[in-house]
A and B are shown apart, each in its own frame.
Chain A
Amino acid sequence: MDRQVAISFEDNVIKVVFASSRKGKTVVQRTLFLKDEEFDSFLKTTRLSNLTVICHFQRFYSNIVSAPPAKPAYLKKIVEAEIKKSFPELGSFSLFYAVLKEKTAEEKGLKSVFYFAIANSELYEIIERFNRHGQTVKYMYPDILPLSKLIRSSDELSKKTVLCIATSETEKPLFLLKNGQLRFIRIIKSSGKDIDDIDVENINMTVSYCTQVLKLNPEQILLMNVPEREETDPLQTIVPVVTISYPSNVLASQETLRNFITPLSSIIFNHDLKNDNLLPSKYRTLHLQKRMAAYSTVLFLLFSFIGLGYLLMNLREISILKKNINSLRKDVTEIESIVPAYEKDSEKLQQLTPLINLINEAHSIPDIPKTLAALKFLPLENTNIQNIQINNKKDSLQIQIAGSINAKNFGDMHKIFQELVKSFGQMPGTAVTSKSIDIRNNKFQIDIESKIL
């Protein structure tokens, strides 16, 4: 929800509207009429955010100028140069401008631009009043601008050429709109809020001026903030008079709408008006600087809080670590006595190492008696063992058995030899690596590897 405050300086009264906009609907929350002397205390006591100020300027400079086609940034410079040329007495100023939709025949290739300029000194007078109480103005418009947007938004009136009158006790601004765009502004003196004969005469003269000089024929005269007149007493104007219908998307009474139509228009058409902000660029820069400083402060404070959190965590960790280190440091004295003892014993063991290696070597060789005992229990019938050769290969024993077989025939001899090989193979921890038999003289040789430990 977009909350906004609009303050409109009208006659001797200051009108304040607090409203919020959401999804195209504007809800008026509070309205105030303030006298000029009450305004300062109001500014002092109230917090105003998103503030729009609408003023009725006594001295302004407006006209239509021709400008070559250019990008908006250059066009503004051209218009500024044109204003400076036309009004050399005008010092620094702020302006808004609008490129008019149609071109005249002789202005083909050129753009018609309507401008409205105000001396910055006049703007600063108003801004200073807010500054004194620490209030920041976000947007500033002349009263006719939000009202012109009101007509532009109307389907019925936006295509017409209309002369609008916003009445007040002291002055009556007349402004001519064509296709919803400002073309001409005139301020006439007023003797009261109602429209009298002198006003009618002034209106008719203005209509004639528009027709003859500006070549624009107002189709209607539009009363902006005047109660509807009775048909029995119509105004004697040369073009018909109508009263504006207020926008339906504002939730407020008709009386509120009539009394506060200027500040309300600035709230309703806030998005359309942004580009026409009259605030001096210096003030806007100042405003930007203030905001940047404020946001940076918040950011730094945020960093500080996060940093502080980490710092506290670190301090806590430091205290725990120091405590642990101190408790471990006490053990260091004990460690000092361990090292010499270790070194002494290590040296002693170093001396014994060859002896230990020798013992280990002596006990790592295979068990020869066990192997020899196993050989004794083998069934060696019909076999005559001639020679047993045992070679110690450190991790195993290479046993070579040679002998002869007593057999009647070759078949028996083969059978006995196979039985013999089988029995050697069945010895635990042994494997037959090679075998051979010479059938001519019945001699055999079997190589066995034993790993019996």
Chain B
Amino acid sequence: MDKKLKKNLFYYAASALCAVIIISGTLLSGKYVTSLSDKLNQFQTLRINSIKMKVATQNMRTTSRSVLSIISPYLKQEEMEGAILTTIDSIKANMKDPDITVSDFKKSSNEIVLPLTISGQIHDYTSFVNHIGYLQSLFSPFFFIDTISISKSSDEKKDDVCFVINGLLKTQSLGT
């Protein structure tokens, strides 16, 4: 074989081998870079999520603390029933003996509801409005007003104004 061709072929083979090794190395390192980038992204996501979780944990603690500071949750149904009945007594006392009609307790898992009707006469409109405000401001059990009816007596000689409040007292246990 021609000397120069032999030399050229040797350089050709050597350069081809070199190119194959380097290009393979480049491709492999490229893939490795991609996998490392993915891993880094996962770590970064993990870190961001951990910060979010930290903040969320903090928020949850604050919320729980706030809720528990507002109301003391009942653990048993008996406690809830007692609380509702006590509240009815309070309403009676506060609204100066209105007629209160209650029906049966409605119980579902952790919730107890007692529908009731409060009726009576309005002697002073401002007091009546304050009583409504009082009912709406009740906390554990809560008073949910469905309807309020205010009507004048049909007898024109009488100046009586009656009211009927339909609503329900509702409370919730922690369910443990």
Contacts and interface: CB of A to CB of B under 8 A. Distances in A.
By secondary structure, the A interface counts as helix
Interface stretch (B59-67, B87-95, B97-105): B59-67
Contact of A286 (B5, B11, B32, B57): B5
A300 B144 CA distance: 85
A355 interface: yes
A334 B15 contact: no
A324 B67 contact: no
Interface stretch (A144-152, A227-235, A308-316): A308-316
B82 interface: no
B106 to A, nearest CB: 15
Interface stretch (A16-24, A368-376, A435-443): A368-376
Nearest to A384: B152
Interface residues of A, number: 65
A165 B118 CA distance: 144
A326 to B, nearest CB: 10
Interface string A339-353: 101100110110110
Contacts of B85: none
Nearest to A402: B151
A355 B64 contact: no
Interface stretch (A47-55, A188-196, A356-364): A356-364
A369 B136 contact: yes
Interface in A294-320: 294, 296-297, 300-301, 303-304, 307-308, 310-311, 314-315, 317-318
B174 to A, nearest CB: 5
A304 B40 contact: no
- Centre residue among A290, A294, A352, A359 by max chain B CB count within 10 A: A352
Contacts of A301: 15, 18-19
A307 B40 contact: no
A318 B54 CA distance: 31
Main secondary structure of the interface of B (DSSP, over half): helix
B86 interface: no
Nearest to B125: A376
Contact of B40 (A328, A346, A356): A328
Interface residues of B, number: 68
A436 B110 CA distance: 46
Interface string A266-305: 0000000000000000000010011001101100110110
- Most A CB atoms within 10 A — which of B32, B43, B144? B43
A351 B174 contact: yes
A198 B23 CA distance: 74
Contact of B32 (A310, A314, A355, A392): A314
A131 B43 contact: no
A296 B16 contact: yes
Given A304-B22, A359-B67, A297 B15 contact: yes
Interface of A: 131, 134, 136, 286, 289-290, 293-294, 296-297, 300-301, 303-304, 307-308, 310-311, 314-315, 317-318, 321-322, 324-325, 328-329, 331-332, 334-335, 338-339, 341-342, 345-346, 348-349, 351-352, 354-356, 358-359, 361-362, 365, 367-369, 372-373, 376, 384-392
6 contacts: A290-B4, A296-B15, A300-B18, A317-B33, A324-B40, A365-B145
